[in-house]
Amino acid sequence: MTWHRRVLNIRPFLLMIGLVVGGSAQAGTIYDNLADGTDSGTGIYGGGLVKYSAFSTDGNNSDLSSVTLSLELDGGGPADTIDVSLYSVDIHAQAEFLASVGSIAASTLSFDAFGDYTFTAPAGISLAPDTTYEIGVTDASNPVFTGVALWQVAGDGSELMRVDVSNSETPEPTTLLLVLGGFLSLKVLLPGKPHCRM
């Protein structure tokens, strides 16, 4: 003779744990004014000068995914390289280099016509929540100030760009312990009317 008792179906709770643990890696745009459009821009003249454009993160920990800029070629040569980097902003409004986002050859730009170009960030560039950063654009291949714009970043005072991130938020240990604790407690045999099979 074998006795049996009811056991709770735990599949919904496994799904809940999966949502808490694995549902956090979502991509999103946290800054975008590319749709504003413009026929003017800020010239890049070489000499190591950097043009900065600021953006702020939301309340989540995140990783930088990509930066998209509106650029056009002016008088730049085929050897010019456009470098895009991430900078922090300190209390004195000074920019401090944090990481390189990417680079492209200026020769790939359209001449005298703005176009959107995306720089895909390498993995591991973390962004803190509720923090202001700057995207710096320069022509590092020209160490000497040319006096003539090599190429331009669209926008005059408020440069056009889009910043995309992936959410790296992970559940706090306390949250995981509560979920796992509830799962383990509900896994036990529930009281029920015993029945037997002869």
Q: Residue 113's domain is classified under what CATH number? A: 2.60.120
Cα–Cα nearest to 130, from 62, 189, 84: 62
Q: Which range of residues forms the domain containing residue 141?
A: 26-167
pLDDT at 92: 67
Q: Are residues 93 and 13 part of one domain?
A: no
Q: Are residues 184 and 160 part of one domain?
A: no
Burial class (CB in 10 A: 0-12, 13-18, 19+), 121: buried
Q: Are 31 and 163 in contact (CB under 8 A)?
A: yes
Quote the pTM value: 0.70
Q: Are residues 125 and 95 part of one domain?
A: yes
Could you give the angle at the alpha carbon of 178 between the alpha carbons of 5 and 174, nearest 5°? 160
> Residue-wise pLDDT tens for the chain (198 aa)?
544 444 445 444 444 444 344 444 457 999 998 888 777 888 888 888 888 889 999 999 999 999 999 998 887 665 688 899 999 987 666 789 999 999 998 888 888 888 999 999 999 999 999 999 999 998 877 777 777 778 888 886 678 899 999 976 544 444 444 444 544 444 444 455 554 455
Q: Are residues 151 and 97 part of one domain?
A: yes
Report the alpha-carbon distance of residue 82 to residue 105 in Å, rounded.
6
Cα–Cα nearest to 72, from 142, 145, 154, 141: 154
Two tokens at 50?
A: 């950097």
Q: Are residues 148 and 58 part of one domain?
A: yes
Count of structural domains, the chain: 2
Q: Are residues 100 and 9 part of one domain?
A: no
